[in-house]
Amino acid sequence: MTDAPSPEAPGGEKAVPGEPNHVLADLNDRIADGRLGPEAILNAVTSALSRIRQGTWVAYLIGKDPRTVKVVAANEKNPQMARYLEDMHRSGEASGLAFADRVIETGEALLMPRLTREDFLNTLRADVHSYFVQRTPPVMAPWVDVALMVAPMRARGATVGGLALFEARPSAPLTQEDLDWLQPIADRTGLAADNAQLYADANSRLERLAAIRSVSLAMAASGDLRLTLQVILDHVLAGLGVDAADVMVIDHSDGSVVSSAHAGFRSTAVPEYRLEPGAIPHNRLQDRPRVEMLTGGALSHLRRRTLFAREGFRAYCAAGLNARGRPVGVLELFHRSALEPDDEWLSFLDAIAGFTGVAVDNAAMSEALRHTMPSTPLAGAPKLSNLERQILGLVVEGTTNAAIAKALHLSQSTVKFHVRQILQKVGAGNRTELARLATREGWM
């Protein structure tokens, strides 16, 4: 840890930067404790570097979708600033990439030895300034200049992110030696995070395959639509990592959209909403799902805006439910922070929405069939003697001929004769069918 370059010491003597071997060895131990999670690895690295050198350390990791970047920050002296940067990027209202985007795009390190406060703020994007106005940054000591460096994180010949230091009120400008010290650490972090992401992706695919299997089994085993939808929603929350979800079904009698099942809401009394026809346009139900941010303007036109505001939802996604070429409802997802879906996430959502649409359509067809078919009374019990009725009862219980003979003090041949007689009287082909008929028709 002593090999890290440091700013000027209190006595005015500048420390000599050395090789990052000791730092890498310490980070290797921390990464090993990260349990293979990409975010845990980035947290371990930034936290360790924050203890080595003051300032705000930020790690950027490109997601499977290159348009999404995960941001993790650490500042031992001012942890509120680190959390502020993470929250800003996670909110979706402003980008937390700052100078890292150009490093990620070019793969070249960036070094700015010293910038004035005004120059630094002028380089930030307009959405960042708007975020500063809406949410005041944490209080920090006055500063007039800042130094920063960003090293690309690389793995397998590709740039997978960046590792940056932002130091307010630097005692000495950053140098090329500092950047050369940081680059091996960034590369080791990039490789570890990329490996962890591959491992997490493999586990996620396995869990989603298991979820699809569970949903298909639930559909085959139960005719209860509410139970099937609840199973589906439980797997949606786990497989997609969202906070809440619901299923809205179209009532084809009047075109309204009715809430049929929900999960993940904090409120213990979520209203059973019935939205007017056209509340969710049919052409949107045919499109591929897309994520929307529930900002104040987006909430204003939603009828359920009170519920959304109370729950604290920030992101919304709707997947249309279609069966036999027509829309039957919508699967809605809600999240309390920004969502960054990739193609696999959307494909899993598409698959689950397909299963949900089939389940809703099957339930509707079963209900329509039940109403159109005349109700038929149960068939009367066949005329059986007392002995035959006793034998039938034992057959229904699964008793063998030998056990029946012993229980009724008869020979096995006599029992076989009576069983054949019973089968002929009721028109059953075997003992299993006989037991099913007797149970279904209530003969016992």
Name the phi and psi angles at 199, rounded to 5.
-65, -45
Q: How distant, in Å, are the alpha carbons of 77, 348, 415 from that of 207? A: 40, 11, 53
Q: So what's the architecture of 21-199 in CATH?
A: 2-Layer Sandwich (3.30)
* 250: enclosing H helix or E strand: strand 244-251
Q: How distant, in Å, are the alpha carbons of 117, 151, 162 from that of 176? A: 22, 11, 17
Q: How distant, in Å, are the alpha carbons of 24, 161, 183, 288, 374 from that of 174? A: 21, 21, 14, 48, 86
Res 162: pLDDT: 95
122 contacts: CB under 8 Å, gap ≥ 6? none
Report the alpha-carbon distance of residue 111 to residue 175 in Å, rounded: 8
Look up residue 51 and give its two tokens.
Answer: 């203890």
Report the alpha-carbon distance of residue 18 to residue 294 in Å, rounded: 49
Res 67: pLDDT: 78
386-441 under CATH 3.30.420.40, yes or no: no
Exposure of 392 by Cβ count < 10 A (0-12 exposed, 13-18 middle, 19+ buried)? buried
User: Across the strands, what pairs with 114?
Assistant: none
Report the alpha-carbon distance of residue 444 to residue 441 in Å, rounded: 9
Q: What share of the chain is helix, strand, coil (3-state, %, to 5)?
A: 50, 20, 30
The DSSP annotation for 105-130 comes to HH---EEEEEEEHHHHHHHS-HHHHH
Q: Which CATH superfamily groups domain 222-372?
A: GAF domain (3.30.450.40)
Domains 21-199 and 386-441 share a fold: no
β 158-168/145-155 pair status: antiparallel
Res 378: pLDDT: 47
Exposure of 370 by Cβ count < 10 A (0-12 exposed, 13-18 middle, 19+ buried)? exposed
* 131: enclosing H helix or E strand: helix 126-134
Res 241: pLDDT: 92
Give the amino acid at 113.
Answer: P
Q: What are the per-10-residue average pLDDT scores of the chain (444 residues)?
A: 43 41 67 73 91 91 84 93 89 79 92 88 84 81 83 94 92 91 93 90 91 89 86 93 92 85 82 72 70 61 69 88 90 88 90 94 84 57 82 86 88 86 83 81 71
Report the alpha-carbon distance of residue 363 to residue 251 in Å, rounded: 13
Query: Measured at the alpha carbon of residue 76, what is the angle toward residues 72 and 79, in degrees to the nearest 5?
Result: 60
Residue extents of the structural domains in the chain:
21-199, 222-372, 386-441
Neighbours of 159 (CB within 10 A): 17
Instruction: State the Rg of the chain over Cα.
Output: 33
Look up residue 221 and give its two tokens.
Answer: 């085993």
74 contacts: CB under 8 Å, gap ≥ 6? 43, 46, 47, 49, 50, 56, 57, 82
**Longest Cα separation, the chain:** 111
Give the amino acid at 158.
Answer: A
Neighbours of 104 (CB within 10 A): 20
Query: Measured at the alpha carbon of residue 130, what is the angle toward residues 302 and 318, in degrees to the nearest 5?
Result: 30
